């Protein structure tokens, strides 16, 4: 097979309708546009959503917020939730296995809410500045 021999499948390319070719063609004279009016004229058409001067639907309905597409895959973890964990090295998989964050979580961030009572090592979890200070004060460390 050569690139210069490739053809479209049979019926994939429809022939253009030939309008304005006389009375017998069913699309003669007005060419399927009817009689008079804006749609019959060349270049005459309204903008998308125009409703003849009536307040268009997109302006009648109220604006309603916005839904973040990454919200589903991110989670927030409190410092106090880490106290119940047995492991001293904590990463995203440990948080998922212990049901602290949902299974489909891709990113987690540790926030300074509550307190941590033991030395822990965090790996691959984002941390706020306050949470980082609390972990280091308890003898733990944060690794990127």
How far apart, in whole angstroms, are the C-alpha atoms of residue 83 and residue 119? 10
Q: What is the pLDDT of residue 45?
A: 84
DSSP 72: G
Check if the beta carbon of residue 132 is closer than 8 Å to that of residue 125: no
Question: Given the structure tokens 């049979």, which residue do they identify?
Answer: 10
How far apart, in whole angstroms, are the C-alpha atoms of residue 66 and residue 109? 22
Q: In the beta sheet, which residues pair with residue 119?
A: none
Domain boundaries, given as residue ranges, for the chain: 18-65, 71-143
Rg (CA), the chain: 33
31: tokens are 């060419």
How far apart, in whole angstroms, are the C-alpha atoms of residue 30 and residue 50? 25
Q: What is the pLDDT of residue 74?
A: 96
Distance of CA 65 to the CA centre of its chain: 14
- State how far the alpha carbon of 75 is from the alpha carbons of 30, 103, 106, in Å: 63, 10, 8
Q: What is the pLDDT of residue 125?
A: 94
Q: What is the pLDDT of residue 137?
A: 94
Q: What is the pLDDT of residue 46?
A: 85
Residues of the chain with pLDDT under 70: none
Q: What is the pLDDT of residue 21?
A: 94
Mean pLDDT across the chain, nearest whole number? Answer: 93
Instruction: Look at the domain 71-143 and name its fold.
Output: Ribosomal Protein L15; Chain: K; domain 2 (3.100.10)
Q: What is the pLDDT of residue 84?
A: 86
How far apart, in whole angstroms, are the C-alpha atoms of residue 46 and residue 38? 9
Q: What is the pLDDT of residue 1?
A: 84
């Amino acid at each position: 097979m050569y690139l210069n021999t490739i053809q479209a499948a049979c019926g994939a390319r429809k022939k253009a309708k030939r309008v304005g070719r006389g009375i017998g063609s069913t699309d003669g004279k007005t060419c399927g546009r009817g009689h008079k009016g804006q749609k019959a004229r060349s270049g005459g058409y309204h903008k998308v959503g125009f409703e003849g001067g009536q307040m268009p639907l997109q302006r009648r309905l109220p604006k309603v917020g916005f839904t973040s597409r990454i919200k589903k895959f991110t989670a927030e973890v409190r410092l106090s939730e880490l106290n119940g964990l047995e492991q001293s090295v904590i990463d995203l998989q440990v948080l998922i296995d212990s049901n602290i964050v949902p299974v489909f979580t891709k990113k987690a961030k540790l926030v300074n809410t509550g307190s941590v009572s033991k030395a822990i090592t965090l790996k691959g979890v984002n941390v706020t500045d306050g949470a980082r200070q609390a972990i280091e004060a308890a003898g733990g460390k944060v690794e990127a």
